[in-house]
Chain A
Amino acid sequence: MEVDKGKGEAEETRKVAEADRDTVTLKSSDGKLFEVSKEAAARLSTVLAGMIAGGSIDDNGTDLKQIGSEALENVVDYCNKHANSIPSAALISSSISFNTAPFKEPEEWERKFVDRLSHDALFDLVEAANFLGMERLLDVTCHKISEMMKGKSPDQIREVFNIKNDYTKEELEEIRQELAWAFYDD
Chain B
Amino acid sequence: MARPPDLIDDAVTEILLRLPPDDPACLVRASLVCKAWRELLTGPAFLRRYRAFHGAPPLLGYSHNVYDEVPYARFVAADARASPFSAPAFGRLNWWVLECRHGRVLGQSFERHASSNLLVWDPITGVQHQVPVHMTYFCHTAAVLCGVAGCDHLNCHGGPFLVVSICIPYEEEEEQAVDFISACVYSSETGAWTSSPSIQFDAYIEERPSLLARDALYFTLQQGRRILKYDLVGQGLQVIDAPDMFDGLAYGNLHLWSWQAGPYGVAEWVQGRVIKLSTLLPTTGPLISLGVIGFLEGGTYTIFVSTDVGIFAVMPKSEQMKKVCEGGFHHAIAPYMSFYTPGTGGVLIFNLYNALCAPYTFLWCCFLLCSLKSFSQTISK
Contacts and interface: CB of A to CB of B under 8 A. Distances in A.
B32 A154 contact: yes
Interface in B1-43: 1-8, 10-12, 14-20, 23-26, 28-37
Nearest to B35: A166
Interface string B116-134: 0000000000000000000
A143 interface: yes
Interface stretch (B47-55, B67-75, B149-157): B47-55
Nearest to A130: B11
Contact of A162 (B3, B300, B346): B3
A150 to B, nearest CB: 6
A109 interface: no
A160 interface: yes
Interface stretch (A6-14, A22-30, A48-56, A118-126): A118-126
A145 B30 contact: no
Interface in A138-169: 138-139, 142-143, 145-146, 149-150, 152-154, 157-167
B15 A126 contact: yes
Contacts of A165: 33-34
B294 interface: no
Contact of B29 (A126, A178, A183): A183
Given A99-B55, A154-B33, 14 more contacts: A98-B354, A101-B55, A119-B4, A142-B15, A146-B18, A146-B19, A150-B26, A166-B34, A166-B36, A172-B32, A179-B342, A184-B25, A184-B82, A185-B81
B17 A101 contact: no
B82 A181 contact: yes
A162 B6 contact: yes
A138 B36 CA distance: 21
B30 A157 contact: yes
Contact of A123 (B4, B84, B299, B357): B4
B201 interface: no
Given A146-B15, A146-B16, A101 B6 contact: no
A165 B35 CA distance: 8
Interface residues of B, number: 53
B109 interface: no
Contact of B346 (A124, A159, A178): A178
B347 interface: yes
Interface in B271-301: 298-301
A139 B1 CA distance: 24
A100 to B, nearest CB: 7
A41 B299 CA distance: 34
Contacts of B7: 123, 126-127, 161
21 contacts: A98-B354, A98-B356, A99-B56, A99-B301, A120-B2, A120-B3, A120-B5, A126-B14, A127-B8, A130-B8, A130-B10, A146-B15, A149-B26, A149-B30, A150-B23, A152-B29, A157-B30, A157-B33, A161-B33, A183-B29, A184-B82
A163 B53 contact: no
Contact of A179 (B12, B36, B347): B347
Interface of B: 1-8, 10-12, 14-20, 23-26, 28-37, 52-56, 81-84, 298-301, 317, 342, 346-347, 354, 356-358
A182 interface: yes
Given A123-B7, A127-B8, A150-B20, A164 B34 contact: yes
Contacts of A103: 18, 53-55
A162 B4 contact: yes
A153 B346 CA distance: 19
B26 A167 contact: no
Contacts of B15: 126, 142, 145-146, 149
Contacts of A65: none
Contacts of B5: 120, 123-124, 127, 162
B33 A182 contact: no
A149 B238 CA distance: 51
Contacts of B16: 146
A175 interface: yes
A176 interface: yes
A102 B53 contact: yes
A175 B37 CA distance: 14
A102 B56 CA distance: 10
A55 B347 CA distance: 51
B317 A99 contact: yes
A176 B32 contact: yes
A102 B55 CA distance: 6
B1 A159 contact: yes
Q: Which of A149, A158, A164 has the most CB of B within 10 A?
A: A149
**Smallest CB-CB A-B distances: 8 pairs:** A101-B55, A182-B28, A146-B18, A182-B25, A154-B32, A98-B356, A184-B81, A142-B14
A54 B287 CA distance: 65
Nearest to A118: B2
Contacts of A143: 18
Interface string A85-117: 000000000001011111100000000000000
